[in-house]
Structure formats: structure tokens, C-alpha cells
A and B are shown apart, each in its own frame.
Chain A
Amino acid sequence: MNPSVSSLGKDLVGLEDLSGDQIISILDTAEPFKEISERRIKKVPVLRGKTIVNLFFEASTRTRVSFEFAEKRLSADTVNIAASGSSVVKGETLVDTARNLEAMRIDMVVMRHGSSGAARFLAERIPSSVINAGDGQHEHPTQALLDLLTIRDHMGRIEGLRVCIVGDVLHSRVARSNIYGLLKLGAEVAVCGPPTLMPPAIQELGVTAFTRIEEAIEWAGVLNVLRLQLERMHGGFVPSLREYNRIWGVSSQRLAAAPRDVLVLHPGPMNRGVEIDSDVADGPHSVILNQVTNGVAIRMAVLYLLAGGRQESAEAAKQGGEA
């Protein structure tokens, strides 16, 4: 495999940079990889000999573990660097980090960073492939891809669906990546939440904005419910978590009033009783655990494609050949 011929380009920085066809090819590539995780021996030698660094400047157990499983199931050699607890300090060393990684001849870097644009910054400075595992409030492309895969699994399609992203869109990289991905695949997209948590000019991206959750639920076939960070209350964006739950929380009563069955996603980790009630999270509308399962398959697909693998060979790769 040769990353210079990757169908995605060198890096995955964001879905804004990808075409609809490229996104579909990632989803399709993930399909055969889903099955590997169901096997007794969950490993294929697709990325044998490749070295991958998981570089997390912000703590994120879920995303890091999901990437790590994906890498190990493809037989890559992986190293985890949790920069938040080490001598690497934000702002001090992004350039030096890039130079060090380059000097170590790493094949791929999976990076989570608190600054918007950090993934692109790194990608422009090293020859290795960079996968954005979340940069500031910019993008979190693999999360959106796994959301898309989960929606497609349950609804059979993306095109023509009405998907509403609910909550703190202003601070959410998940929201931005979802908006780009959904629009490129032909969905109608809306956002809903307190106007204090809506990004300026968001409608110019081609989405509808609701300020009442009831309107959103009446409109949507799919709700993607974002986590409300506690610090938003301290920042004065919402008066209290209780009020947030009362006015914007996704509850089973509200879903019961919907004119159709609504699929509910949540990127996690959840604040039960704040943005989502437990009976919804654990109830029949929820596909939250399917998202977690799909996360590993999507990340395997991204790693595989960036390493130069081709979508049409993924089935064969799954059977045990190296791509």
C-alpha cells in the first residue's frame, strides 16, 4: 500500500475537504470491517509494519480507545502519547512535535488537540498521514463518519433524510463535521438549541435553525444530541442545567409527540438528565451503542484507505491478505 495513491489524499482533517463520493467510499469500506470485530480472533494483517502514533493533547478515552482497537485489529504498531499529562504543553511544542514525529518516520498520526486548525497545521508540516481525532471546535471527522454509518444502517439511506443536531452547536466539532457530511450526502440538516449556543451565520452553511426542541422533533427523522459541557453554564450560555433539560432536553414524552419514529444518536459521553433523558438513551429510539461499535469499523476504514488501500479490495483484506 502506498499513501501517495490514497483515494482520500494524504490526511483526514475534516469532512469539509471531502467529496460525497469519498465519504460514501469510507462508509462502504467500513462495511466489511464491521465483521472482523465479531470474530473470535479480531485481527487481520492489513497494516502490518505500519507505525501509528495516537497523539492526544486532550484526554478522550473513548476516541483514543476506538482508534487503538481499529489500529490493533489491522495489526499496526501503535504508540500512545497523552500529551496533556506529560512535558508536552499546549502551544509550546506543536511545531516541535511535528518535527519529532517526522524524524521518527511515523506512518500515521492520530491527533486530538484543543486548538481549531491544529490537525491541518500538523498535516501541512509532516509527510505522514494525519487523522484528525478532534481539533478544538473545528472538526471531528471520524465521529461524523460513524454517525453517518449508523444512520445509514438504520434508515437504509442518508439522502433525503431530515437530521437535526441538537444542543451546543457553537462549541461542537462533532456538529460541524456532521453538517458537512450530511449535506454532501444529500440530507436536509437542521440545528436546534439555545440561540446563545448557535454559531453566527450557521444558516449560510445551508442548515435550518430551530430554537424550540418541539419544532425540531416534529421536523426531524433523526436527532443527533450533543453533550452539554458543564462549563457552558459557568460561561453564562445557559442559566442552569435544569432549565436546559426542561426546555431543550430530549425526553420520551417529547419523542412520543413526534409524528414518526425518530432515531436518536449521541456522540457521548452523555449527561443523562441534561441533554438526554435515560429512558431515551436506553430506549428503542437510541442507537448510541451501535455508534460505538461502528466507530471501530469506520476508523479501520479510514486507516486502511489512507494507507493506500482501495475500497474494492477491503473485502479481500478482511479475509487476511495485506492490502
Chain B
Amino acid sequence: MSEKLLLKGGRVLDPSQDLDGVRDILLADGMVAALGEQIDAPEDTRIIDCAGLLVTPGLIDVHVHLREPGGEHKETIASGARAAAAGGFTAVCAMPNTDPAMDDPASVGFVAAEGRRAQAARVYPVGCISVGRSGERLAPVGEMVDAGAVAITDDGSPVTNSLLMRLALEYAQSFGIPVADHPEDLSLSPSGQMNEGLVATRLGLKGKPNAMEDIHILRDIMLAELTGGHLHLQHVSTRFGVESIRQAKSRGVHVTAEASPHHLVLTEDAVDGYRTEAKMNPPLRAQTDVDAVRAGLADGALDIIATDHAPHHYDEKEAAFEDAPNGIVGLETAVGIVLTRVVNEGVIDLATMVERMSCQPARAFGLPGGTLAEGSVGDVSVLDLDAQWTVDAAAFLSKSRNTPFAGWVLQGAPVRTIVGGKTVWEAAREDVREDAT
């Protein structure tokens, strides 16, 4: 019989039950055994004093790149799962653009098994839409779902062929999983390096216009409308994209969508000086786009905050801009960035943050968690809203350091991450007191 945990006296914020108040939570057998105002500890229970801390259903990041197999110098499933836990996440969804790509049940099963072995955040594999991510024919979706896949995507690349996207949206309905797409019309700027506009012109870099993303978002929405399938749009970055999703939802189209922390707080100006740590795809856009993504997050046009955690080895990013790969790590900065630059700036309230980082991800991807209701899975994030800290990339548990947020002073940090009723990570801090009974 495993040890029980009693989280004592924390501010429990669980939008799934409209709950925001001081409560105790008893975790036993991997589940939430009890939630109440005053719970007495049964025998064999470790009591964790959570007074002054925020206790939420475990945060879930539906968009991370863990690089294994094929890119183990950037990240492994184990290092990524630990980085996730250190970032306050109890679960992540691993993108399949590995080498080889996760396009069959064996590779999906490998990621699921490695994820379990890591004993950190849960790792849910996402399978490819197409065999080899080549955009030609449907991968064995049913077998991948049997092996643990919770969604399908060709992320890293868009699904260019409209018929393939239609078939995926139809076929996936048998399994109740979302079809996630990286919306980008590559033909419009095959070698674009950053957002199209004045900064790109000044730097002499090829631009990517918003229209690349907008065209693809509209097409995907039309196909979702045609098929009734569940479309999930990844890392939405444009004002027109946000508005298109908002309108589609009002028509009843089954679409969910992500915003990435960096698209909520940074503009293309971060690229000036050829800063490769601000190179990503979709690129950082103009202020009007950032404003629209923030508004979309607030009104629900965008359902989910997902980091698009994209580790790269330091010497891959230390190159001329056009030779550097896209992407930044995000797992260990997301909570601090969202609290400091989105919640504390009044864009969304704390409850909406928990909605966007826990409840909605669980709902959209059909995952356990997203709630602390009795009987649900014992995945809990404990945050300290008062903690002031400075982003130190060298201290990341991720194997990579490619962040544009190094040196940022943030307010609010994860202090304990509990998965299946067990603490998988805790901050080396004084203010989390622990006594065994």
C-alpha cells in the first residue's frame, strides 16, 4: 500500500468544481480520496503544509517536443518529463516529429513506456497523422491509439494535402481523439525566417506573412465543419487566426486551439539583433497579433496554453540566424511567464489560467485530470504566487537552454508537483514545510 498524502490548508483553485477556497486534499492509491475543509490524516499519511500556497489540478501541456528518439542530445523523454514536473506540469503530450517519426504503435508504445519509467510528469504520446510525417497517407491511427496515442498531428509540418486532412478528421472520430495541425501554408514562403514586416526587412531576413497561417487555419476550419471532426489548432499566433477560430466556435464547429506563452508576451522586436533564441515557428508577430492572442485567451477563442517546448542544443542555436533551428524551451518558464505577464497584467484571472492550463487540456485531449473532484486522478500542482525568481537557464532540468526569457524576473513559481498521488518534484525551498505523522 503506497503512502497517502494530505495537502493541508492550501488555497484550492479548481474551476471544474467552481471551487476557490482553503481546503485539504487527501490523496490515496493514486487518486483524490477526499477534498474538504478539514480532513484528519489517516494512518501512514504524509502531511504537506500548503498554507499560503495555491493548489490546482495538475497542469497539462499538450504540446511538447521531447526529441527522443533521434534527438537525445537536445532532450530525452526522461529529461523532458523531469523538466515538465519542475515547471509545475503533471502531464505532457509528446509530439511525434522524432527521428524516426512516431507513426506506428511500436514507436508510440516506446514513448509511453519511457514516459512511465521517468517517474516524473506523465508523458502521453501523440502519433503522426501520416506515415513518416510525409503528408501522403494516413498512419495506423487505431493501432496507435491502442498503444497510447491521445491525438494525432504532423506537427513541425502542416498537413498540406486537404484530402489527407479531411480523411484524418473523419477517421479520428472513431477514436474520439483530436486531429492537431500546425497551420502554415509553406508555399507562401518556403524559406521564411521570421515575421514579415519592418524588422525582417531591416535585418534582410525572409519574412513569413500572417497569411501563411491564416489561410491554413481557414482551410482546417472548413474541413472540420465539413466532417464534424475535432480539429485542434496548434500555436495560434495571428489576429485573423484568433478571430477565425472565434467565429468558427460560434457556428458550432468542433475546434480547440492553443496559445503559446511566447506568443502571449513577445513581439518580433525580440528577434532584432539576430537573436536566435527568439527564432521560432510560427514566428513572433506584431503587437496587434500579441494583443489578439491575449484577447483570444481571455474570451475562450483560444482554449489552451501550451508551451511548444522545443529544445535545441546550444551549438545549434549559436549560428547565423537562417542556419539556426526554430523553437524555444518553455516547460520551466511557462507558469512564471503566464502568472507574471498575463495574469498579473489582468488579461485573465487565476481561475482562467487553471482552466487554460489544466481543465481544458484534459477535456480537449481526453486525458485524466483537469479536476480535483473526489475519485479523480491524484495529479496536483502546488504553486507559490509570491515567489520572486530570476530565470536561470543553466538551472533548467531540460537538457537545453534555448530560452528568450533568461534573466527575466518573474513572480510566481511551482513548488511541488504531484503525479498519481506521489510527489515527483519539489522546489529546494524553505517555505514548503513537510512533516510526517
Contact = CB atoms under 8 A, between A and B. Distances in A.
Interface of A: 16, 90-91, 94-95, 113, 115-118, 120-121, 135-139, 173, 176, 199-202, 204-205
B252 interface: no
B274 A116 contact: yes
Given A135-B204, A138-B203, A139-B204, A115 B198 contact: no
Nearest to B323: A91
Contacts of A137: 204-206
Contacts of B205: 116-117, 136-138
Given A116-B322, A118-B320, A201 B197 contact: yes
Contact of B204 (A91, A121, A138): A138
B202 A117 contact: no
Nearest to A118: B320
Identify which of A91, A139, A201 gathers the most chain B CB atoms within 10 Å of its CB. A201
Contact of A113 (B196, B202, B320): B320
5 contacts: A94-B320, A95-B318, A115-B323, A136-B320, A200-B198
A200 B320 contact: no
A176 B202 contact: yes
Nearest to B199: A201
Contacts of B323: 90-91, 94, 115
Nearest to A175: B204
Contacts of A173: 204
Interface residues of B, number: 21
A135 B204 CA distance: 9
Interface in B368-410: none
A129 to B, nearest CB: 19
A95 B319 contact: yes
A200 B196 contact: yes
Contacts of A94: 319-320, 323
Nearest to A93: B319
Contacts of B198: 200-201, 204-205
Given A16-B202, A116-B320, A201-B201, 17 more contacts: A90-B323, A94-B323, A113-B320, A115-B321, A115-B322, A116-B204, A116-B274, A116-B322, A118-B320, A120-B274, A121-B274, A135-B204, A138-B205, A176-B202, A200-B201, A200-B207, A202-B201
Interface string B315-331: 10011111100000000
B321 A199 contact: no
A136 B196 CA distance: 17
A138 B272 CA distance: 12
Dominant secondary structure of chain A at its interface with chain B: mixed
B319 A116 contact: no
B203 A117 contact: yes
A199 B203 contact: no
A91 B323 CA distance: 6
B285 to A, nearest CB: 13
Nearest to B322: A115
Contacts of A201: 197-198, 201
B273 A120 contact: yes
Contacts of A95: 315, 318-319
A204 B286 CA distance: 14
B284 to A, nearest CB: 16
A115 B204 CA distance: 9
B200 interface: yes
Contacts of B273: 120
B115 to A, nearest CB: 34
A301 B302 CA distance: 57
Contacts of A205: 198, 201-202
B202 A121 contact: no
A113 B318 CA distance: 16
Contacts of B206: 137
A200 B200 contact: yes
Identify which of A95, A137, A205 gathers the most chain B CB atoms within 10 Å of its CB. A137
A244 B198 CA distance: 26
Nearest to A91: B323
B204 A176 contact: yes
B319 A136 contact: no
Given A120-B273, A200-B196, A200-B207, A115 B201 contact: no
B201 A199 contact: yes
A249 B375 CA distance: 77
Interface in B237-277: 273-274
B124 to A, nearest CB: 35
Nearest to B321: A117
Given A136-B204, A205-B202, A117 B196 contact: no
B320 A121 contact: yes
Given A95-B315, A200-B207, A116 B321 contact: yes
A205 B320 CA distance: 24
A117 B193 CA distance: 12
Contacts of B204: 116-117, 135-139, 173, 176
A212 to B, nearest CB: 22
Contacts of A200: 196-198, 200-201, 207, 209
B322 A136 contact: yes
Nearest to B195: A200
Nearest to A57: B320
A91 B203 contact: no
Interface string B194-226: 001110111111110100000000000000000
Closest 5 pairs (CB-CB, A-B): A138-B204, A115-B320, A117-B274, A137-B204, A116-B204
Contacts of A116: 203-205, 274, 320-322
B320 A91 contact: yes
B355 to A, nearest CB: 37
A152 B174 CA distance: 74
